[in-house]
Amino acid sequence: MGSSRRTQGQLQTQAFGIFRPRFGVVFLLYADYKFALVSQQIAAGTSSRRRTVGKADYQAKGALYLPETARFDYLLDRPESDDIGGAINGAMKAIADENEELGGALPRNYNSLEKPILRELLKILNRIPRANITEDAFGEIYQYFLGNFAQKEGQKGGEFFTPISLVKLIVEVIEPNCGRILDPACGAGGMLVQSAIRVRNKLGFDPNQVISVYGQEKVDGTVKLCQMNLAVHGVSGLRNIREGNTYYQDIHSSVGEFDFVMANPPFNVNGVDREKIKGDPHYPFGAPTTDNANYLWIQLFYTALNGNGRAGFVMANSASDARGSELEIRRQLIETGAVDVIIAIGSNFFYTVTLPCTLWFFDKGKCRRDVPVERLPPLRVERLPPLRVERLPPLRVERLPPLPVERLPPLPVERLPPLRVERLPPLPVERLSKSLNQPIITLMTLYKNKYRIESARCQNWDYTSNGYYFVTICTQNREYFFGDVVAGKMQLSPIAKIVAEEWQKTAQIRSYIELDEWVIMPNHLHGIIIIKNQSPPPLVETPHRGVSLSQQDEEETFHRNVSTKSRLKPKSLGSILGQIKTVCTKRIRKTGFDAFEWQEGFYDHIIRDDQSLHNIREYIINNPLKWELDKNNPANLYM
């Protein structure tokens, strides 16, 4: 069924030879469609002085670069006398040479097919109106061929194809919105593809920016099917789909490393070498004594999850009530608290078997950590005597006389002379700080008929001074890298968890600062940093910088992007935040999120007094509840 490790594991060479070229030609048509689309976009934005357009321009926009000999129309127009099989082989090689990630994924055995069949296949696919369809249509065509291949192959067809209805159900239950996704029995990649489709169509994000896909397969031909399937759907990470026997080979070093695991493994496999897996950390509850690999797969999925990971997979119906050693493994799994739900599926869903199956779901975020699971004695319930109810006499209600109302005389109104309004000369403007009793000079210059603030900082304030600072740091372009707010609560992504760790760690490694209230939102972090180089820290306030605490504050808010790259003193606010952002960026990119970036600089607000501190704390605490109204929300963004 949807995977690799099978005792009957090799696809028949003849059957695969018949169907795989069809997948290749569908892939070629899609690549040509995408290439033409991006060519139009590049042409529309190209000036006469622009450098020569190359393959990097196409790859930057998610398209494969196609030489002329790899274009679909070029193959379609080959004369009848030409070796069409050789021409298609050449097209596949040219595409692979220009796009290294594809490697050996593309078929090159078209000379084995008769010329009339190949020409007819090209003509049939050419009827698709490419000008009026979307990219998703090519994915549907590819899925259509996969489904037909599975039907033709019968029992073996299930080795790489899981019915789309079950795949969608698994994806909707575990919601792989961002992070690392593993399918250790990936087959043709349906689970990975559907995760990317959900991110693109339902959440509105580019899946290649928010998820990373990983897969493993025992059969090389099925690995190539999966790689082409990902490519047709515009999903990167083809090199993360690897050949290997999952029972014995952990190609992706999976233990505790993945946010999501999805799979449709083979059912009831026997013959797994128990000596090879003895002591393997992938099987923490031990190998079952029966010669059946169902509970080996279940443990593989469980151990691949990180501390908050979720898994969804197809499993044989018999695994739900298996006895003996499998019962003991199941008991241990349940006691971890990770088993979330099991869904029963009726018969005749698969091309491989007619028997019913089940869908299992794990959620390690629900586990009760560090709490031993003990069998408690039953509660002792004592029947209490009925309460004695005393009827009280009715209350006596006395009607009070009305209060006397005295009508006061009207207040005298004096008519004041009209105010004299004088038009002041243009800036510079000098204002006095109440707390510092020092002048603050805000210089403005005229630019495109508008005045702008030249300096982002409070000119006479030393940002190494001890005090209470309300700061906000944002992701580049306010992109949602940190998760989302659901029902008034912030659901942190793996990226956000790294930021949270580094934010808390900064007070541990810097004795001169303390952290007050803070919160991570989908695209920014709010927090109060207390610098205590001297003692005690004063409560002094400058104008709000880029953060509105209430409707009343908005007219006084100055949007000042304080750069962390300008001459920073050691132990200054900018130095502290710059170091936090640098360390977070390095850790995040090591996990595979190369697109992550911070917005340059930060927003700061020096707190004035205890009341202001209280207001800001309340603002931070309630930020998730009021997210829809928050002006850092891209829907309402004006900064």
DSSP-derived secondary structure letter, 318: G
What residue segments make up the domains of the chain, in order of their start? 13-366, 447-636
Cα separation, 304 vs 297, whole angstroms: 11
**Average pLDDT of the residues in 77-95:** 91
Contact between residue 263 and residue 224 where contact means Cβ atoms under 8 Å apart: no
**Average pLDDT of the residues in 101-123:** 85
Other Cβ atoms closer than 10 A to 374: 6
pLDDT one-digit tens code per residue, 416-425:
566 565 554 5
Residue-level pLDDT at 58? 81
- 3-state class (DSSP) for residue 168: helix
pLDDT one-digit tens code per residue, 161-214:
677 888 999 999 999 999 999 999 998 888 999 999 899 888 888 898 899 999
CA-closest candidate to residue 524, choices 603, 458, 617: 603
pLDDT one-digit tens code per residue, 413-465:
566 566 565 554 543 433 333 333 433 333 444 444 444 444 444 556 778 88
User: Domain spanning 447-636: which superfamily?
Assistant: Transposase IS200-like (3.30.70.1290)
Residue that the structure tokens 């204002």 belong to: 431
Distance of CA 374 to the CA centre of its chain: 37
CA-closest candidate to residue 176, choices 160, 200, 143: 200
Threshold 0.85, pTM exceeds: no
Query: Does pLDDT of 397 surpass 50?
Result: yes
Question: Which of residues 521 and 366 earns the better pLDDT score?
Answer: 521
Query: Does pLDDT of 557 surpass 60?
Result: no
Record the tokens describing residue 141, joined without a space: 């065509």
CA-closest candidate to residue 180, choices 293, 66, 309, 284: 309
Tell me the H-state helices in 80-157.
84-98, 115-126, 135-153
Query: Does pLDDT of 630 surpass 80?
Result: no
Query: Does pLDDT of 4 surpass 60?
Result: no
Record the tokens describing residue 394, joined without a space: 């009715």
pLDDT one-digit tens code per residue, 28-77:
888 888 888 888 888 877 554 556 778 888 877 767 888 999 999 999 99
Contact between residue 193 and residue 229 where contact means Cβ atoms under 8 Å apart: yes
67, 432, 458, 461, 470 from 438: Cα distances, Å = 68, 6, 12, 10, 22
530 bridge partner residues = 468, 514
Report the chain's mean pLDDT, rounded to a whole number. Answer: 77
Cα separation, 312 vs 120, whole angstroms: 41
CA-closest candidate to residue 363, choices 320, 401, 334: 334
pLDDT one-digit tens code per residue, 486-516:
878 888 888 999 999 999 999 898 888 999 9
Contact between residue 362 and residue 308 where contact means Cβ atoms under 8 Å apart: no
User: Domain spanning 13-366: which superfamily?
Assistant: Vaccinia Virus protein VP39 (3.40.50.150)
In the chain, % of residues over pLDDT 70: 70
**Average pLDDT of the residues in 257-281:** 92
